[in-house]
Structure 1
Amino acid sequence: MLITKPVLRPKGIYILLLLLVLSSGCSVTKVVPEGKALFWGYDVKVKGENDSSKRASDMEAELSATVRPQPNASILGLRPKLAIYNAFYTEKEKGLKHWIMTKLGEPPVLFSEVDTASISQIMSNRLHNRGYFNNTVGSTATIKGKKATIDWTANIGEPYRIRKIEYTLHDSLPVHRDLEQTRAESLLKTGDPYDLETLSAERVRVDGKLKNEGYYFFSPDLLIYSADTTVGDRKVDVLLRVKNIASAKALQPYTLDDIFIFANYSVGDSLATRDTIDFQGYHYIPNENYVRAKHLLRGVFLEQDSLYTREEHLLTTKRLAAYSAYKFVNIEYKVDTVEDNSLDAFIYLTPALKKTLRAEAQMVSKSNGFTGPGINVSFQNKNAFKGSELLNVEFSGTFESYVGGRGSGEVPEGVEQEGNANLTSYELSAKASLSIPRIMSPFKLRNLRTEFAPQTRIGAGFSFLNRVGFFQMNSYSATYGYNWRPTQTVTLDATPINLQYVQLSNTTEAFDRYLVQNPYLQRSFENQFIIGSIYQLTYSTQVYEDRTNQFFDKVILDLSGNLLNGIQSVTGFPPPTDEEPRTIIGNRFSQYVLLDNDFRHYLNFGKESQLVTRLVAGAGYAYGNSVSLPYVKQFSVGGPNSIRAFRARSVGPGTYAPPEETTFSYFDQTGDIRLLGNIEYRFPIFGFFKGAVFVDAGNIWSFKEEFDDNGEILREGGVFDSKNFLNDLAVGTGFGLRVDVEFFVLRLDIGIPVQVPSLPEGERNVLRDFKGSFSGENSMVLNIAIGYPF
């Protein structure tokens, strides 16, 4: 949602100034007791001139993390939480000042709370674990006034390195043979520095390998290392062996015998196996009144008489957990009562609430600048046809007002505003979707061995849109597609059948007049079918939350009309022309190809700070049976998730400057090509308040010139020029405040225009004329939105 008038009240400005004063002007040692000092900061240096491993900087970061307590939190050299604590300090245990002091503030961290000797010992132990068996760690404290700093210095030499790795082979038990076979993938390498963390990871790796060889009762704790450092020359021999206390159960592999599936389990149910259905070697309990066995077993990868493996266990658990029909999945194993080298598996499936009805009121904010209240009613059935199919039926209605446009403030004198001055709109829609946790296909396909269940999606919908004072539009849609995650980072989405019919009706004279003046836009609004396919590939490493660098890339290929046009060509239809296009059921069908790519990189600093970059590039080309892309497929930029210094869908194309009578009306700027880049630095302020500074740049363009009936160019400067497109970019900067309470993010971004491409050359840089106002030419824009922009 975009607000074009100032909403930052004087009271809000005073509060902001007060916080700035508190952060910078108040004495940070105000409440530090006499004779005490504030723990102001520390530094850790690792000196290892003879260390060939070159790990000094890594060790400094690791040793720094051992310092406890940490100094008071600082931002850009300021300590706002400590300043708030000092400003509102009170000895009372209740009241507003006490609440602000304790909830928003932070008490001073005193130098006396830091046990330097204990921390030095911990640092020395960390160095020892990294192979620096001979190290010394010392500290020096400096106190100036009431502020104390501590410098730790660690002296290290060459680390001990692994000379030889051995595994115990003195026993004929199968576990030792299987243990030896894991060596090929060992994390321990001769010549590497001794590292306790790597040794621990190797135990976990070996345990995982043995778990996949049937050793159900084995655990990493049954493995122990012996390290011999007496071989000399800073070398160490490592021996990995099984503890002597390991039980016989832990040292033998198990196969699976009976597999029981409790398909409608509730806590407290009797575990009796009466009313059991034997289906394909499984004991299905109690019956098929909930989920049919043939559908459920597509998510079960445990097989009778097969070797127990942790891989099959986890695969089964994750696949069944993805079934909408179930809330909880649990698998237990018990040693068979007859054969002591076999396990019986018990799969307990707790059903989710099958049917739900939900109604909610909402505030709708769209990328095209319309915003307003809405209501949404949805019905869900999580097991519609006894195969864990998720049926969703949704009805919604919204009433919206347009707060976008390029201009701000009042309509200029002498400019006639087109259509309805209030620019209102309402929309009614109904849609139904069915998600099936398996591939539905005319061809028989093997069951995919992935932890994420493939989905077949079927959908249909209808919407009625009324832009008061302009037009009404009916949209019908139907889709059939598939969704599959072969790995944690890759998602494939294919919609081979994507049908859409758009019908324009009840247009006003003002809207008709505008379309007549813009034939290119008129063609994009024609009643037409979109008959084609959409393919999407998403790659994301954001599932790995502890990574410093995270990547996201989404590629979309949208095709329409090619198959139908090919069939009509083969069957003898005359070639299409702009005046006589090919039709289906009396209406033109669109023919185009569209490719869009959204790439993002997240660079994480610490726990909450991020530098996020995004590059979006897309192009759509109409050909054959179409002169232009359908209006609903054209690109636009500007708005709260795009270039935040410009109002929604107001930028471009290229350097085109729309006439004043349209800047204060509903008409958006659209194009065939889009280029958008963003850089945003996100940082914590305090509590659930986060801040951001950003720079946005981008524009849209057309592939070819657009002419009116008189041969005049409609949008001068709107065509893409590969040699000059960088000069066409709209550029904005700004800052934002986000209220992030994990499940909900309220975002307020203030955008400041830097370069306006629609202005004459030499006048496009408007930052020098910045007046800090929310009204007037090239003013700031306040964006209020839900969620992060990207």
Structure 2
Amino acid sequence: MLIRKPLPKYKGTYILPLLLMLLLSSGCSVTKVVPEGRALFWEYDVKVKGEKDSSNRSADLETELSQTVRPKPNASILGLRPKLAIYNAFYTEKEKGLKHWIMTKLGEPPVLYSELDTATVSQIMSSRLHNRGYFNNTVSSTTTIENKKASVSWTAKIGEPYRFRKIAYTLNDSLPVHRDIEQTREESLLQTGEPYDLATMTAERVRIDGVLKNEGYYFFSPELLIYSADTTVGEPGERLVDVVLRVKNAASAKALQPYTLDDIFIFANYSVGDSLATNDTIDYKGYHYIPNENYVRAKHLLRGVFLEQDSLYTREEHLLTTKRLNAFPAYKFVNIEYEVDTVENNALDAFIYLTPALKKSLRAEAQMVSKSNGFSGPGINVSFQNKNAFKGSELLSVDFTGTFESYVGGRGSGPAPEGIEPTGNQNLTSYEISAKASLTIPRILSPFNLRNLRTEFAPQTRIGVGASLLNRVGFFQMNSFSATYGYNYRPTQTLTIDVTPINLQYVQLANTTPEFDKYLDRNPFLERSFENQFIVGSIYQLTYSTQVFEDRTNQFFDRLILDLSGNSLNAFQSVTGFPPPTDEEPRTIVGNRFSQYVLVDNDFRHYLNFGEESQLVTRLVVGAGFALGNSTTLPYVKQFSVGGPNSIRAFRARSIGPGAYRDTAQVTSFSFFDQVGDIRLVGNLEYRFPITGFFKGAVFMDAGNIWLFRDELNDDGEPIRPGGTFDSSGFLNQLAIGTGFGLRVDVEFFVLRFDIGIPVQVPHLPKGERNVLKDFNGSFSGENSMVLNIAIGYPF
């Protein structure tokens, strides 16, 4: 949603300089409330001096040691400390009131040097170095205080680290666990010649435990492994260490033996507090299914169970079963417990407890839409869900949506386009009503008997149907009907494959007025994109994302979409002897043209995480669609557009381009269609940072446009949209560019976003006049003004 709101110009003109002055003045006001005789903990640095250290780890060690400093100095941005400046500017000893709220919620109290215990920090740093093999190290600190600001420098002196000379496993016992540990040595994380490292030694214990857990050792744990280290080996001064790994003598017998699975009980409708009686138990393929199949049928549920009777217990099968069952919409909680069998002491009984989720839900949402083109009105969305529609944990969703808009004036008034007669209704009304039903099945439905895929994420089959009606009163009505059948498969945490082999859509233009028909007659390419037609094809989508690894500094996201329509159908008609298609006589099915095109779209994003919750996001979107064969233009519903809250935020949604073209009708109340094209290029750069609590801030820059592959000519052979075709030598000068800043209210499950966009370059203006930043008026009204975008969720 994009809103332009009038604002007195002096406020928009002076608010930004005032904020800038506050930030610039923060350098001289940071010590305002520091008590006399005290100092502000201003900054610190850590240096590691190891001239004789051949491991070349000084830079990594400095980073690691810097993280041990507590407390940290006040947060800074580009050398400024705005939160501390706010605290000082609004400082008050009162415990309530507006100033107190701003001081405590938006500000940050000064971190005093007296709160820092340099000796303790030095001891922690020394311990860290000891753990990294520097058994002989010294850490010292020096403090400089000037103008009530304290700067601390830590210096760590190290030499050559101790290195592993020999790594031995004391496994002289005949127990099976010792043989199984010995077999893992080739994969050991400990290597002779490498520096001693306690973290690596700990990770080696965890690795061995993971291997044993997949060999049946259910009761084993990393704590049962212990190291012995000898630093007296080798020649004097060599700094070598021999390490011996063994199993503790106190380890219990049950921890040192592997287990197989015996009875497997599945409580398919479990609630906390239920008795665990096995009445009405169904024995199905070796499983005890309790109590019955009145909720989810066993044959469907067992596709998510990978525990098998008489098989060796493995953690891998346990985790796989847990994750697959958690993916079933019918269940809210999944818990698996094991008990030693009462008859066989080397066997486990497994108990799978499945707690149902709320099966049916009905949700209604009301909204108010206000657009910068002068339209506003209410909207409503009603959604129904059944999470176990056919006793197979199928998710059935039915959505009804209605939006109603009326023209209420404002920026957008003006004369009607040539060929259009005013309707006489100053409250120009449009409405859109749609209904969509989708069924998501947590398994593959196929005419072929496919094996059950052993992946963490259950493959899904998706079936959907929908219909919508768009009515622009006084102009046209557009009906759309769709049906899809596809599969979703996620072989790994980072890769998702979405295949929709059947994608059917029928678009019908109905109830057009004579005035609108005249306008289409003057624009043949526009007429073809609006005409009744079938979209018959497939959609293939590949998504790669590392955002599941939240602790990574660099995260990547890339989504590639291939959308095809009419190609197979056109080839079939060619083989079966249909005449070649022409503009006047296209090929049809059931009397209507079908679209033929190839469309590719790629959305790439990079997230650079640094500091606490700070993030630099880069995004590049490139797309192109080419009509061929039976079509001379892409269907209107498949063409690209840019602008708006999730694209280029300094411009209205769908208002940019194509290229340097400007439709003078677009700023009027008669904007019954938006600017679209065959090629899309959008780039975004956004810096996100925390403010306080759930308030987040952002500054951004957006750029992009759309273009046509070829000129659209009218009957006189003149371009209908001059300047709209793509030119590889000049497209950069046709980019719409905007910048701005934003505030986000992020409460984890919900994000409310306010972004203010400021235009920098307007592509439809004459060359030499496209840079409009110098004419920025600092308000929300008029030309070259700010644009307020209100939206739900992050833009990308």
**TM-score, normalised with respect to structure 2:** 0.94
Whether 2:84 is the aligned partner of 1:78: answer: no
Equivalence for 1:425: 430
- Report how far residue 582 of structure 1 moved: 1.4
Instruction: Give the Cα–Cα distance (whole angstroms) in 2 for the partners of residues 660 and 398 of structure 1.
Output: 23
Query: Per the alignment, in what secondary structure is the counterpart of residue 717 of structure 1?
Result: coil
Equivalence for 1:43: 45
Letter of the 2:674 counterpart: D
Whether 2:546 is the aligned partner of 1:541: answer: yes
Equivalence for 1:152: 154
Instruction: Give the Cα–Cα distance (whole angstroms) in 1 for the partners of residues 257 and 628 of structure 2.
Output: 67
Q: 1:529 to 1:106 in 2, by over 3 A?
A: same
Letter of the 1:55 counterpart: R
Q: 1:725 to 1:661 in 2, by over 3 A?
A: closer
Equivalence for 1:675: 681
Residues 733 and 752 in structure 1, CA contact (< 8 A), matched pair in contact too? yes
- Report how far residue 336 of structure 1 moved: 0.6
Q: 1:499 to 1:366 in 2, by over 3 A?
A: farther
- Report how far residue 673 of structure 1 moved: 1.1
Query: Per the alignment, in what secondary structure is the counterpart of residue 254 of structure 2?
Result: coil
Q: From 103, 106, 121, give the equivalent of 1:101.
A: 103
- Report how far residue 555 of structure 1 moved: 0.5
Letter of the 1:548 counterpart: T
- Report how far residue 413 of structure 1 moved: 8.3
- Report how far residue 65 of structure 1 moved: 1.2
Query: Per the alignment, in what secondary structure is the counterpart of residue 62 of structure 1?
Result: helix
Equivalence for 1:515: 520
Instruction: Give the Cα–Cα distance (whole angstroms) in 2 for the partners of residues 30 and 757 of structure 1.
Output: 49
Whether 2:583 is the aligned partner of 1:578: answer: yes
- Report how far residue 645 of structure 1 moved: 2.2
- Report how far residue 204 of structure 1 moved: 1.0
Q: From 118, 121, 124, give the equivalent of 2:120.
A: 118
Whether 2:502 is the aligned partner of 1:500: answer: no
Instruction: Give the Cα–Cα distance (whole angstroms) in 2 for the partners of residues 11 and 94 of structure 1.
Output: 28
Whether 2:765 is the aligned partner of 1:753: answer: no
Query: Per the alignment, in what secondary structure is the counterpart of residue 765 of structure 1?
Result: coil
Instruction: Give the Cα–Cα distance (whole angstroms) in 2 for the partners of residues 366 and 61 of structure 1.
Output: 49
Query: Per the alignment, in what secondary structure is the counterpart of residue 250 of structure 1?
Result: helix
Instruction: Give the Cα–Cα distance (whole angstroms) in 2 for the partners of residues 539 and 671 of structure 1.
Output: 27
Equivalence for 2:4: 4
Q: From 723, 727, 735, give the equivalent of 2:741.
A: 735
Q: 1:403 to 1:529 in 2, by over 3 A?
A: farther
Equivalence for 1:782: 788
Q: 1:365 to 1:456 in 2, by over 3 A?
A: farther
Letter of the 1:740 counterpart: D
Q: From 327, 336, 342, give the equivalent of 1:337.
A: 342
Letter of the 1:3 counterpart: I
Higher mean displacement: 700-709 or 552-561: 700-709
Instruction: Give the Cα–Cα distance (whole angstroms) in 2 for the partners of residues 369 and 62 of structure 1.
Output: 56
Residues 4 and 403 in structure 1, CA contact (< 8 A), matched pair in contact too? no
- Report how far residue 328 of structure 1 moved: 0.6
Equivalence for 2:31: 29
- Report how far residue 78 of structure 1 moved: 2.9
1:669-748 aligned within 5 A: 669-748=675-754
- Report how far residue 183 of structure 1 moved: 1.8
Equivalence for 1:56: 58
Instruction: Give the Cα–Cα distance (whole angstroms) in 1 for the partners of residues 377 and 383 of structure 2.
Output: 20
Query: Per the alignment, in what secondary structure is the counterpart of residue 210 of structure 1?
Result: helix
Query: Per the alignment, in what secondary structure is the counterpart of residue 207 of structure 1?
Result: helix
Q: 1:250 to 1:368 in 2, by over 3 A?
A: farther
Q: 1:125 to 1:363 in 2, by over 3 A?
A: farther
Equivalence for 1:192: 194
- Report how far residue 474 of structure 1 moved: 1.0
Q: From 454, 458, 463, give the equivalent of 2:463.
A: 458
- Report how far residue 746 of structure 1 moved: 2.2
Residues 367 and 640 in structure 1, CA contact (< 8 A), matched pair in contact too? no
Whether 2:265 is the aligned partner of 1:226: answer: no
Residues 217 and 249 in structure 1, CA contact (< 8 A), matched pair in contact too? yes
Deviations 1:64-115 (Å, cap 9, x if unpaired)?
Answer: 1111111222223333333333333333334444333333333222211111
Instruction: Give the Cα–Cα distance (whole angstroms) in 1 for the partners of residues 92 and 530 of structure 2.
Output: 66
Higher mean displacement: 379-388 or 504-513: 504-513
Structure 1: gaps (5+ residues): none
Instruction: Give the Cα–Cα distance (whole angstroms) in 1 for the partners of residues 72 and 754 of structure 2.
Output: 31
- Report how far residue 372 of structure 1 moved: 4.3
- Report how far residue 329 of structure 1 moved: 0.5
Higher mean displacement: 419-428 or 496-505: 419-428
Letter of the 2:537 counterpart: G
Instruction: Give the Cα–Cα distance (whole angstroms) in 2 for the partners of residues 155 and 664 of structure 1.
Output: 74
Higher mean displacement: 256-265 or 374-383: 374-383
- Report how far residue 401 of structure 1 moved: 5.4
The RMSD of aligned alpha carbons is 2.5
Residues 2 and 369 in structure 1, CA contact (< 8 A), matched pair in contact too? no
Instruction: Give the Cα–Cα distance (whole angstroms) in 1 for the partners of residues 35 and 628 of structure 2.
Output: 79
Instruction: Give the Cα–Cα distance (whole angstroms) in 2 for the partners of residues 248 and 402 of structure 1.
Output: 80
Q: From 315, 322, 335, give the equivalent of 1:310.
A: 315
Residues 373 and 669 in structure 2, CA contact (< 8 A), matched pair in contact too? no
Equivalence for 2:287: 282
Q: 1:412 to 1:662 in 2, by over 3 A?
A: closer
Instruction: Give the Cα–Cα distance (whole angstroms) in 2 for the partners of residues 741 and 259 of structure 1.
Output: 41
Whether 2:259 is the aligned partner of 1:259: answer: no
Query: Per the alignment, in what secondary structure is the counterpart of residue 123 of structure 2?
Result: helix
- Report how far residue 603 of structure 1 moved: 1.0
Letter of the 2:315 counterpart: R
Instruction: Give the Cα–Cα distance (whole angstroms) in 2 for the partners of residues 427 and 400 of structure 1.
Output: 9
Letter of the 1:756 counterpart: V
Q: 1:664 to 1:365 in 2, by over 3 A?
A: closer
- Report how far residue 168 of structure 1 moved: 2.2
Q: 1:676 to 1:461 in 2, by over 3 A?
A: same
Higher mean displacement: 667-676 or 627-636: 667-676
Residues 369 and 639 in structure 1, CA contact (< 8 A), matched pair in contact too? no
- Report how far residue 31 of structure 1 moved: 2.6
Query: Per the alignment, in what secondary structure is the counterpart of residue 259 of structure 1?
Result: strand
Letter of the 1:171 counterpart: D
Higher mean displacement: 213-222 or 656-665: 656-665
Equivalence for 2:641: 636
Instruction: Give the Cα–Cα distance (whole angstroms) in 2 for the partners of residues 463 and 208 of structure 1.
Output: 53
Instruction: Give the Cα–Cα distance (whole angstroms) in 2 for the partners of residues 16 and 768 of structure 1.
Output: 15
Whether 2:593 is the aligned partner of 1:593: answer: no
Query: Per the alignment, in what secondary structure is the counterpart of residue 716 of structure 1?
Result: coil
- Report how far residue 228 of structure 1 moved: 1.9
Letter of the 2:555 counterpart: Q
Query: Per the alignment, in what secondary structure is the counterpart of residue 373 of structure 1?
Result: strand
Q: 1:647 to 1:312 in 2, by over 3 A?
A: same
Instruction: Give the Cα–Cα distance (whole angstroms) in 1 for the partners of residues 2 and 521 of structure 2.
Output: 30
Instruction: Give the Cα–Cα distance (whole angstroms) in 2 for the partners of residues 368 and 447 of structure 1.
Output: 53
Instruction: Give the Cα–Cα distance (whole angstroms) in 2 for the partners of residues 313 and 525 of structure 1.
Output: 55
Instruction: Give the Cα–Cα distance (whole angstroms) in 1 for the partners of residues 84 and 31 of structure 2.
Output: 9
1:402-481 aligned within 5 A: 409=411, 411=413, 424-481=429-486
Letter of the 2:200 counterpart: T
Q: 1:414 to 1:299 in 2, by over 3 A?
A: closer
Query: Per the alignment, in what secondary structure is the counterpart of residue 53 of structure 2?
Result: coil
- Report how far residue 225 of structure 1 moved: 1.4
Higher mean displacement: 596-605 or 654-663: 654-663
1:255-404 aligned within 5 A: 255-363=260-368, 372-400=377-405
* Matched residue count: 787
- Report how far residue 403 of structure 1 moved: 10
Instruction: Give the Cα–Cα distance (whole angstroms) in 2 for the partners of residues 775 and 96 of structure 1.
Output: 31
Q: From 564, 567, 575, give the equivalent of 2:569.
A: 564
Q: 1:146 to 1:612 in 2, by over 3 A?
A: same
Query: Per the alignment, in what secondary structure is the counterpart of residue 139 of structure 2?
Result: strand
Instruction: Give the Cα–Cα distance (whole angstroms) in 1 for the partners of residues 526 and 93 of structure 2.
Output: 69
Residues 655 and 666 in structure 2, CA contact (< 8 A), matched pair in contact too? no
Residues 501 and 527 in structure 1, CA contact (< 8 A), matched pair in contact too? yes
